[in-house]
């Protein structure tokens, strides 16, 4: 029997979008915090993550982790694929399916 999944178009109830996005960011940081793996793009992305914690620094916009993961989904996927991070790719797929 197929497991019942939550239809995000009906309700976000039971979906921890924010928590899952934070987990994706933690998995991403394992790569982009490594000086051998980062580049200017990821350094700028880290600045956006820092601004997510402080809406004043983001010009009053609320740039939380879920928003940033959604906005940079393809870049994040590409990085996870490059480093063959299967666990992170699975979680990213889940976040995209449930919350984006």
pLDDT per position as a tens digit, 42-58: 999 999 998 887 767 66
Longest dimension (CA), the chain: 49
How many Å apart are CA 71 and CA 45, to the nearest integer?
11
Q: What is the mean pLDDT of the chain?
A: 87
State pTM to two decimals. Answer: 0.81
Mean pLDDT (whole number) for 70-82: 97
Query: What is the per-residue pLDDT for 60?
Result: 65
How many Å apart are CA 97 and CA 100, to the nearest integer?
6
Closest C-alpha among 29, 74, 71 to residue 50: 29
Predicted confidence band of residue 4 (pLDDT cuts 50, 70, 90): low
The ranges assigned to domains in the chain are 17-99
Residue 7, pLDDT > 80, answer no
Query: What is the per-residue pLDDT for 27?
Result: 98
H or E segment and range at residue 99: helix 86-99
- Contacts of residue 78, defined as CB under 8 A and 6 or more positions apart, other chains included, come to none
């Amino acid at each position: 029997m197929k497991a019942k999944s939550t239809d995000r178009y009906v309700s976000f109830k039971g979906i921890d979008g924010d928590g899952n996005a934070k987990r994706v960011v933690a998995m991403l940081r394992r790569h982009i915090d490594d000086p051998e793996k980062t580049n200017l793009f990821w350094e700028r992305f880290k600045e956006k993550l820092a601004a997510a914690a402080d809406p004043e620094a983001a010009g009053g916009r609320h740039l939380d982790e879920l928003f940033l993961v959604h906005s940079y989904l393809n870049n994040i996927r590409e990085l996870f694929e490059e480093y063959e991070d299967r666990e992170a790719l699975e979680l990213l797929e889940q976040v995209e399916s449930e919350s984006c």
